[in-house]
Amino acid sequence: MVWVLIILLALEGLAGIICGPLLMIKPDGSVIQMPLSIMRGSPFTDFFIPGLVMFLFLGIFPSIIAYGLWKKPAWIWPDPFNPFKRYHWSWAGSLAAGIILMIWLTVELIWVEYSILHAIYYVWGGTILLLTLLPAARSYLEKISDDPIQR
């Protein structure tokens, strides 16, 4: 199950890393054939800011989390952001990645017309959350403490 989670996060990250910059390079949406007219009613005049947010939060972030789940690096810089000290930081990051995807979709639907891709990505985000919460993922990412009280 953890490998499925890693793959889902890596693919989400890949999509964000590809599509985000394409929206920033051509903010009129022409590169990915997305009409600028769908931005009517949104706070944005073009796709640059959504592309930047997509690149960072739906591209780079889930890619780092997928790597963290895969290799479990002993990085200490993410620890202050981890509210679940019992688990490796990538576990909390995986929860956050699923929630970020769901929030992105929900906010996007305020301004754009629903498409089948929204349903697919809602299922994708829900699956990330579900897999993260499974006992297999939690036990895989649980930190082993030297303190017998915390075991």
pTM for this prediction: 0.90
First to last CA, the chain: 24
Category of 56 on φ-ψ map: left (φ > 0), alpha (ψ -120 to 50) or beta: alpha
Could you report the per-residue pLDDT of 26-39, keeping only the tens digit for each? 999 999 999 998 88
Position 148 scores a pLDDT of 46
Q: CA angle, 109 as apex, 105 and 110 as ends, to 5°?
A: 125
Question: What is the mean pLDDT of the segment spanning 1-17?
Answer: 97
Cβ atoms of 10 and 63 within 8 Å: the answer is yes
| Confidence band for 146, pLDDT divided at 50, 70 and 90 | very low
Category of 144 on φ-ψ map: left (φ > 0), alpha (ψ -120 to 50) or beta: beta
Instruction: Judge whether residue 52 has pLDDT over 90.
Output: yes
